[in-house]
Chain A
Amino acid sequence: MSPWSDPRWSDALAHLPDYLGQHVRVSLAALALGLTVSLPLAVWARRRPRLRAALIGFAAIVQTVPGLALLALFYPLLLALAALSMRWLGASFSAFGFLPAMLALALYSMLPVLRNAVTGLQGVEPALLESAQAVGMTPRQSLWRVELPLALPVIMAGIRTAAVWVIGTATLSTPIGQTSLGNYIFAGLQTQNWVFVLFGCAAAAALALIVDQMLALIESGLQRRSRARVAAGTLGVLVLIAASVAPSLSRAPQTYVIGAKTFTEQYILAALLSERLDAAGLPARTREGLGSSVIYNALVSGDIDAYVDYSGTLWANQLHRTDIRPREKLLDDLKAALAQQHVTLLGELGFANAYALVMPRARAEALGIRTIADLASHAGTMAIAGDYEFFSRPEWAGIRDAYGLAFREQRQMQPDFMYAAVASGEVDVIAGYTSDGLIAKYDLVVLDDPKGAIPPYDAVVLLSPRRETDPALRAALQPLLGRIDIATMREANLRASDGQSATEVAKWLWERIAAGRK
């Protein structure tokens, strides 16, 4: 069987028009904005050494901020701005997705453009500047007829570097809600779908290469004063823009958007919700790989219409509550509190995905550890691993304080790697998820929580304020409520981590639900 007959390739290909289109749009918009700001700045600074140094210094500092962090910073910044604008101007804008991604990438593009433009303009021989003055050019004529044309090769090299950087970094805009080729990479990393990761990398690299070549064509055309080359290069960029915008224009504006956080279960559930809506004749698509707090804010602002969250997470992160209540009571309180923000808690899916301390069954038995309380006396010699947010969440503080846990070492890991890490003895305990299929696969055991320090985490479907009264949406999702038990969800998660795509697993899940109803 050839590796190309793997269904994951066709699955990846099916997403390409959307992902590529959005990637091109956000990259080129960022590049255009970056150029409109950087080039005039460079021209303005060309005879002002102090300003020049300040500008390049600023751009260099921006460059040292990791791309992901820069993108992440723009989200809360714009969220605050949007709130201010709502208060003062009565109009808000979406701080989600396109805008923060474009602004951060534009900032990122500035260093190579500024540095090269400044260097290029400075590299023009003083004798030629004097010559330009002497033949009677005004400063503006000198700039346009002599300085810019002579600096052009260096400036174009900077623009090409910026284009390649921006296209590469744009793959990191997925977690702040901008769909990009990074969706392949983030989804692939979560579901261990290496075909997706490879596909995303190759697509981003190919795009960068193509844009670079178009710019090279324009550059050589400008240098050789060949209109044909400039036209061909410009046409290529325009075709790319047209091709990327066309599919999104043809999309129905009334599309429902289902959000998903950054782990396997979320990808499956988003695919399931989306498939249910499609089946009910409601066009739907998914926005995947969103950060845990990004996704709730996106729901409140109407950027996404529905997603699955967990009661304990909402309790702690959105309501900022640290007290722990019985499951039913917590759900009721949560429902009421969310309703005040016009967020609808439609209902529970039937399973809970709680945090749990997990370790290999054999090791636990050998040490006589059955509960977290038993673990406490061994913790001093053990290493624990959790996902990227676990150790900064209030639940961890709760567990730690309730049982007096003090581990030798705390490590953060990609969730899907934690299980293999604990199974192989790389760490001793992990903060896993109760619905994870890997617990059974690696023969791990979930430690009991006799003090009830871990809050309940029922999976619940949330609807955005925009869809507060939307009978069609409710009707389409109603059949899922209460129908997914923990065993089913574990098996679904296991199937995904064995390499099936989220869409395939969602289909399987629906078949199980449909069969169970009969």
Chain B
Amino acid sequence: MSAPSPLIAFAHVSKSFDGGGGAPPVLAVDDISLDIAAGEFLAIVGASGSGKTTLLRLANRLIAPDSGTIAIDGADIASRDPIALRRSIGTVFQSGGLFPHMSVAANIGITPKLMGWPAAQIAARVDDLMALVRLDPAAHRDRLPQQLSGGQRQRVGVARALAARPRIVLMDEPFGALDPLTRDALGEDYRALHRDLGLTTVMITHDMAEAVLLADRIAVMREGRIVAQGTAAELSQSDDADVVTLLQTPRRQAERLRALLPERSRA
């Protein structure tokens, strides 16, 4: 692959955590090198405790690596102001991470507000973003997060991440807690936004089917290491036992669904 220089580059990154109570330290990320190209949609798949969330948190300096470097646009992020860095990256959390005491509009506009945008510009941006994530601004702007459904909350979470026009969006199991219909709709909507806005997205998920459906490329993590990476087609050639198992589930589901749900004949 003679790709142009990557937008995000992890180089030999390791991070361990205190085991607690005298236990040996836990190596959460173990010498990982990973390049993510501009405009790419990368899914990181792995079981709980595989280190995927740690990897994501390293990218916006919520935590610092023990060794190795992470570069964005060729520049080591360790030398950047962490506050400015985080404001330039959109982050979507599992179940939203919305501030419960702030209205939907205040949640969406928080990063622009922290950056000192004029109020009128923030208000216009919030309306645009709500339209973008298919929420009626008039009906939802002044509501509090707990007055929204799970899917609506996650749409607000996506809008908030996009508010300050980031090039990079990090997503931590963004659709994990939603019902299948909502999840599907939201995934599709986000995929379209990713494409239309020219975003670079890193999404963490434990659901291989979701990864296959949304991402351009998938990295599989186990015990702090990346054990396989590539497109869905490339992964299907892998002989790693975990990867095979991970891919089996969506494939079997698809086959059973096809068998059980015959196409309705059009009258």
Contact = CB atoms under 8 A, between A and B. Distances in A.
Contacts of A136: 83-84, 86-87, 111, 114-115, 164
Given A128-B97, A128-B99, A135 B62 contact: no
Given A137-B114, A138-B83, A150-B101, 5 more contacts: A131-B97, A134-B93, A135-B87, A135-B111, A146-B99
Interface in A245-263: none
Contacts of A132: 99
A138 B114 CA distance: 9
Interface of chain A: mostly helix, strand, loop or mixed:
helix
Closest 6 CB pairs of A and B: A136-B87, A131-B97, A134-B91, A136-B86, A149-B101, A135-B111
20 contacts: A128-B100, A130-B62, A130-B97, A131-B98, A131-B99, A133-B86, A134-B62, A134-B86, A135-B86, A135-B110, A135-B114, A136-B84, A136-B87, A136-B111, A137-B110, A138-B83, A141-B114, A145-B99, A149-B101, A150-B100
A127 interface: yes
A410 B101 CA distance: 63
A487 to B, nearest CB: 74
Contacts of B115: 136
Contact of B93 (A131, A137, A150): A131
A146 B97 CA distance: 12
Given A138-B83, A141-B114, A133 B97 contact: no
Nearest to A141: B114
A258 to B, nearest CB: 55
Contacts of A127: 93, 97
A138 B60 CA distance: 14
Contacts of A134: 60, 62, 86, 91, 93, 97
Contacts of B111: 135-136
Contacts of B98: 131
Contacts of B160: 135
- Point out which of A131, A137, A149, A150 has the most chain B C-beta atoms below 10 A from its C-beta: A131
- Point out which of B84, B100, B115, B164 has the most chain A C-beta atoms below 10 A from its C-beta: B100
A132 B97 CA distance: 9
Interface in B139-164: 160, 164
A229 to B, nearest CB: 16
A133 B62 contact: yes
A146 B106 CA distance: 12
Nearest to B97: A131
Interface string A131-168: 11111111001000110011000000000000000000
